[in-house]
Structure 1
């Protein structure tokens, strides 16, 4: 989905034979648009939201447009003594599927998916090129030796299998050869036992993408996505897995396009290859439970600028992560109830009793202070301990700044951190949370500590 496209063709609704000429465009950071010279006819034609629009391009490609929204509807413009022109209607398109016609949303079911993701190749760190033969003292010779690596297969759950597959783009051979290009690419593949909706199979990819983001410690996005279905493309065609190319817009305005190398990633595949099948299985298994915390953290890698909301989101992520794994009362429930009864027995003033009952309703819940303290005990590393210093002071500063930004109080303004220091505090929180995610899915703390120390302070800005 790095490439832009422009298709001219005829467009129509699934329940209509009337076709309209128009142009479909896909541009990165802008998205997908369909400009029609006229109006669609058929059921739902007058709705602003149209689930499915079908198309046949000028070079005979079948296109299905999914989740379409009317941006503007042109009206007839009358000019004296002039012929009336055809009005222009413009739609925003969420998904372009190239390769088949799907006549209803119910038909959008897929068996498998493969995707190229930015920096996936470097993260995996496996190449079929024999670089030793390229490193020769004889500058008059270049020997290119390539062997396609074996695919890496793993089981995510009983109904979902995954793999990393290797592909080679062979060189073009000319009568007179001036240069030669051999390019390897790696794809992440998902194979479902049961058919999945478009949204569900893309969500399965999204879960892996988030693991890749925190591993790279950098944003990433799909470069290309292919879907496979056993839908018959024609009545005479036997059932087979047909390839559908998906174009979907992902904003890349804030993407840092510099390639990450293995030495400046937090974790790469080579660090965990022996236990990777279990790690990815556990990541998918635990994802739903920890999703709110993970998404709050991952979001920070896509933000090019820091602001106070960055810090607040990370503080919220710490609270929600702890509450989903280690939620417990500050005092055993039995003891807390007895204490509550003893206090209420002493207090007689009705207004005081009412106030106390409200306080007791949440009085046994853990505070941010409690939760951060426990997270630091369980997940901090040697590197993070040195960066944070006094843990009690760190927890206090996080709490004070969270409370100040959430419940503004002029009297506490003097204790609020300036932007530079708040940014550093946020980076410490982020590294603590990412470390917690990794440890929870089975990455050994010793591996994590070693990698963080090797990668260094500059990469983590703590």
Structure 2
């Protein structure tokens, strides 16, 4: 989670039901969502002095934000001083700003709003209209809030693309400022646990990472519940609850992307956005391991180029396993062959041989890669270039996995290894486009118009 402004606030904190035992402290949230509470003393006394009992939830009242609920807490350090001042540090998993929940009370919501880096640029919809008359030295600025985009998700939620805005404050004779911010809102008719929303938000954020072509981070998270209402002018309104937690993916560096440097933007999928969203969310049911391996190479989880290469190679292999049931021979035929082999095997070696034959009907990495590139071979060079690339990937994977000296000279090194990684990334990109519903013609258009993808394909053929 991206924290754009420093969050370090003083306040008083107590355990649910023990408001009379308040402790002063400082609540801090780092960029990335890591949350820490520093307190004077500790929350336990008497026989439970050295225990963490009852610390899973903490209530507080902090400057500017008012009531906060700190969830899933535990001590990092617990200092006990005899007669002096002691400080303790508590790790906090989640902060809910704006309300207090009891010790056993379940936290549920109906809506969950969030934004991600570069979302304004990706959506590309603005209600700001500026016209200039240079001859008259005059300018006119109009603002009409854009219409929200609403999509029904297969998991029962709705996803909306919404637009928050601020208008000029009057009277003001020196400046007139209009701002607009795009954000997502997930909504449900039923009250849902926070995890239900954060899981869907995580998948949507990864879709944005893929579409934008950069690691983007979740930010500006808030939620509402029909159970939390506030009366204003005889009307009831849902209380907005700000939420902080350590979400992934996250990159400390704020990305900067214009629409032309993205893989694709919202305008490309305007007429099919609902299907694209559902295709991506549903893909996690069977492609999660492959998706996880791919994104691990984008988030910096792989610190070295060799690790990135192995993750991509394993990811492509896993992708094919999850999307194809191809085997060397028909399962019944293979079972018959295995039975004959085992019958001829000395009894003392049967267990060993069974282990060796367990995966004997699976096709090897080379064949899996050949099947994977088949739909997109026109984008991956000539037949000779493709065969050379496939052999290089297989030899390099085998060498980096087993460090067999016989493969050392045929494995890719340095610049060639970078090129293979670019190649495998581009293959993933092409398949992900197919997964979310792009037609062959639409994929051809992306290849032609997306500079980052074109660069990966060209770089890989060097």
TM-score normalised by length of structure 2: 0.88
Q: 1:254 to 1:206 in 2, by over 3 A?
A: closer
1:12-411 mapped onto 2 (5 Å cutoff): 12-17=14-19, 18-29=21-32, 31-41=34-44, 46-47=51-52, 50-59=55-64, 61-76=66-81, 84-104=83-103, 106-131=105-130, 133-134=131-132, 137-138=134-135, 140-157=137-154, 159-177=156-174, 179-232=175-228, 241-249=238-246, 254-303=251-300, 306-343=304-341, 347=344, 349=346, 356-378=353-375, 380=376, 382-383=378-379, 385-386=380-381, 390-411=385-406
Indicate the larger mover: 440-449 or 120-129. 440-449
- Measured after TM superposition, the shift of residue 59 of structure 1 is 4.9
Q: 1:193 to 1:141 in 2, by over 3 A?
A: same
Q: Deviations over 1:163-191 (max 9, x none)?
A: 101121112334432x3321111111101
Distance 1:381 1:332 in 2: 27
The answer to whether the 8 Å contact 2:230/2:236 transfers is no
- Measured after TM superposition, the shift of residue 363 of structure 1 is 0.7
Number of residues paired by the alignment? 450
Distance 1:428 1:105 in 2: 51
Aligned residue number for residue 81 of structure 1: none
Distance 1:388 1:113 in 2: 49
- Measured after TM superposition, the shift of residue 142 of structure 1 is 2.4
- Measured after TM superposition, the shift of residue 233 of structure 1 is 6.7
The answer to whether the 8 Å contact 2:216/2:249 transfers is no
Q: 1:165 to 1:253 in 2, by over 3 A?
A: closer
Distance 2:291 2:248 in 1: 20
Distance 1:115 1:64 in 2: 19
- Measured after TM superposition, the shift of residue 68 of structure 1 is 1.7
RMSD: 2.9
Which segments of 5 or more consecutive residues in structure 1 lack a partner in the other structure?
78-83
Which segments of 5 or more consecutive residues in structure 2 lack a partner in the other structure?
none
TM-score normalised by length of structure 1: 0.88
- Measured after TM superposition, the shift of residue 213 of structure 1 is 0.6
Distance 2:382 2:185 in 1: 39
Aligned residue number for residue 414 of structure 2: 419
Distance 2:332 2:275 in 1: 39
